[in-house]
Structure 1
């Protein structure tokens, strides 16, 4: 298994950071590493929710929420032949507002070669996503 994690401090309350990370439909306008998002079910993001996500230079993926703690964290997984990608989004209170942690792991029989091919791009995307979520949460418009 391979993976990475990025943590940033956000000068906004946890509720505002949470609102940004669960509003996945708005990610394409807030996060430059996301080209398009299509929710595959109705209602707010919740356990079992499915979302089709397209990112530059990566195959389109369907992500399914596998863990959900309203207001603090969710984890979703995307599966392709031989590879499972798991992405966690965690918001915690912090003295300066909030702490946002994005973590990604890659597992499965083909994960080693896949990780070798995408590690640099994935690291860049996770760092950009953390910075973009921070910016969106800190802006007055949220």
Structure 2
């Protein structure tokens, strides 16, 4: 199985990276996800582990295999008879935006059975993750900054 999804985000790459690497908050903007828990509670680090609970899919534990600062990361999951990889990449998209690429691969003798059972759901979740990140980043990047509220003492 090989899935690839790409989306353009109208926000700067540094902002997209900050939102993307705060994995514990993914369920706030990606409705397909119920919970994302980094085992160490911190940022993504090579060798770190992440538990993902998604709607209509089994709980999956992923291992962070690669982190490319401000460019992307790779997660991997290995089980009996199958292996799965999620590659997340971002790159600048002039003028002033970001391109997000999500690539999911599954291999092994169990993969064909798993794909028949969960392939459509996994594809929908991948697309929803990309679109949710786009919406979240564009809303956060474009939100006007409100001036601090004045108290009665500040008004002369």
TM bracket, shorter-chain basis = over 0.9
Superposed CA RMSD: 1.4
For these two proteins, the number of residue pairs brought into alignment is 141
Q: Deviations over 1:22-52 (max 9, x none)?
A: 1101011111011012211143211111111
Structure 1 residue aligned with 2:100: 100
* 2-structure distance, mates of 1:43, 1:132: 22
Which residue of the partner structure matches residue 113 of structure 1? 113
- Give the gaps of 5 or more residues in structure 2: 144-156
Tell which has more relative contact order, 1 or 2 (C-alpha 8 A, sep 6+).
Answer: 1
Whether 1:75 and 2:74 are equivalent positions in the alignment is yes
How high is the TM-score relative to the length of structure 2?
0.85
Q: Which runs of 5+ in 1 are unaligned?
A: none
Structure 1 or 2, whichever has the larger Rg, is 2
Displacement of 1:137: 1.0
What whole-Å deviation, never above 9, does each CA across 1:96-138 have from its counterpart, x for those lacking one? 4000001100011211111122111111111111000011111
Rounded Cα–Cα distance in structure 2 between residues aligned with 1:6 and 1:140: 22
Runs of 4+ in 1 over 6 A off after TM superposition: none
Alignment match, 1:13: 12
Query: TM-score, structure 1 length as denominator?
Result: 0.93
Distance 1:37 1:132 in 2: 15
| Equivalent-residue separation in structure 1 for 2:130 and 2:106 (angstroms) | 19
